Amino acid sequence: MVRLKSGLEIHQQLNTGKLFCRCPSILRKDEPDFQVYRKLHAVAGEEGVVDVAAKYEVGKEKGFIYQGYDTTCLVELDEEPPHLINQEALKIALHISLLLHCEIIPITQIMRKTVVDGSNTSGFQRSVLIARDGWIETESGRVSISYVYLEEDAARAGGVEGKNKIFKLDRLGIPLVEIVTAPDIKSAEQCKEVAFHIGDILRSCNVKRGLGTIRQDINISIPKHPRAEIKGFQDPKIFVDVVNKEIERQKKNLEDKKIDLIPEVRGANEDGTTRFLRPLPGSARMYPETDLPLLKISRQMINEAKESLPKLRIEVKKELSEKGLSDERIKLLLKEVKLEEFESLLKIVNEPKFIFQVLIEIPKEIASHENKDVSEILTLDIIESIVQAVVSGKVRKGDVKHIMEEIVNGKSFKEAIEIEKIDLGEIESEIAKIVKEKPGLSLGAYMGLVMAKFKGKISGRDVNEVLEKLMK
């Protein structure tokens, strides 16, 4: 078996405004408001040398068209110096660093990393080292966390126009945390385990969710072969296939006795193979950011981050399971990012299953039936008011769905909870009539007919009791 030397680099967007300006981190779907044209030039790094990857990109002689919006500012256009670092993003980076058992760096220099592929208007990316020397445990042993960086995301690729590449500036500057592991990973399976473990820590913090918000790079080498950095991962499920195929590619290079092998950046293909992108960058592309002061992380900031440290998802799942929620409901609650609201509602009435129904289940059913987003109508304030009304006895649990439907369809909360009630004795004959007119249906079918006829004026539990008595 070939000995593998591998490490991961994971980039995760944070759920805040941009890192060095005060613009919102919103990806736009509408047409841009303006565009500018630029050409970029490589500059020497701190060591006085132009990086090999930068030379390669400049050699393509590409021009770049940048598309901006009314949410784009002069910082993103590289026409104004950067603002001081986003403190909310810094706090999230500290949370992540602490959960990875890292040592926080108290005084650190914000750096410029030369990037001339067009994805940054300035020709560089700002990056700052926040922490180092952490670790995580895996089934195959401890994997060290070398570094945690806080940096700005690149512009979003928008296609090609002749010899010019198009970029959208809406993504440029969104805060990213970059986590770099040591080359301690010894197998493709361990690589996948590390990715899932770090991903679980990230999702415990205030990070963005969805496709494109997290990206993984894998560094792979076998003895006597230069390192390859594999980019293009959105889904860690393909890690095992990609790692194994890259090992085979490097083995074949050695067997064929290729002598021109260099460290390189490669892109992951859908079938698990990889393709050459550019030479691997080195330290020559880094130089200090001259428009910003040293970043000082005080002991007070670190202590405050420790005090507000979020619970890991594995701990949250265990607590929710102990409260009686099924695995499926726990998964949906975390996916919808509703844990804080869930815990807030539990303080009103400690009935987890009912709270889940009111917060997640019923709104999703109504949204599906009405074919529209109801989140801005069924706000937390409205849901809290409904739960309070149930606790005080003003409405029954069986009426909650009907009340929510009425609110979605335009009624105020006060109007919606004023449900006209019908005495059960008065409608037993009506239910019996429905059963007699349509014999042979299931209990559920009769329930649907009765509830449709009385439209929330009677609870489902009461109807069920009458139907069970009639169908004996």
How does DSSP assign 185-198, residue by residue? B-SHHHHHHHHHHH
Residues 165 and 267 both lie in one domain = yes
Measure the CA–CA gap between 186 and 471, rounded to whole angstroms. Answer: 65
Q: Which amino acid is at 163?
A: K
DSSP helix/strand/coil, 228: strand
Residues 222 and 172 both lie in one domain = yes
Residues 352 and 389 both lie in one domain = yes
Could you tell me the pLDDT band of residue 458, with boundaries at 50, 70 and 90? low
Residues 245 and 388 both lie in one domain = no
Residues 95 and 190 both lie in one domain = yes
Write out pLDDT tens, residues 366-410. Answer: 998 888 889 889 999 999 999 999 998 888 888 888 889 889 989
Domain boundary among 373, 395, 417: 417
**Range of the structural domain that residue 453 is part of:** 424-470
Residues 323 and 245 both lie in one domain = no
Domain boundary among 397, 417, 437: 417
Write out pLDDT tens, residues 328-380. Answer: 999 899 888 888 899 999 999 999 999 999 999 999 999 988 888 898 899 99
296 falls within a domain = no
298 falls within a domain = no
32 falls within a domain = yes
Measure the CA–CA gap between 257 and 252, rounded to whole angstroms. Answer: 8
Beta 264-268 vs 228-233: how paired, if at all? parallel
> Which of 264, 288, 266 lies closest to 275, judged by CA?
266
Residues 139 and 91 both lie in one domain = yes
Domain boundary among 377, 402, 417: 417
Residue with tokens 């006209």: 420
Residues 222 and 360 both lie in one domain = no
Tell me the residue ranges of DSSP E strands in 14-140.
Answer: 34-38, 63-68, 103-104, 107-108, 110-114, 124-138
What is the count of structural domains for the chain? 3
Measure the CA–CA gap between 398 and 123, rounded to whole angstroms. Answer: 61
> Which of 306, 296, 307, 312 lies closest to 87, judged by CA?
296
Residues 410 and 436 both lie in one domain = no
Query: How confident is the model over 270-278, as a mean pLDDT?
Result: 90
For residue 119, CA distances in Å to 56, 152, 437 come to 15, 11, 70
161 falls within a domain = yes
The pLDDT of residue 33 is above 60: yes
DSSP helix/strand/coil, 383: helix
Residues 430 and 357 both lie in one domain = no
Residues 280 and 328 both lie in one domain = no
Measure the CA–CA gap between 114 and 55, rounded to whole angstroms. Answer: 10
Measure the CA–CA gap between 162 and 419, rounded to whole angstroms. Answer: 65
Residues 351 and 380 both lie in one domain = yes
**How large a percentage of the chain has pLDDT more than 70?**
92
DSSP tag of 410: T
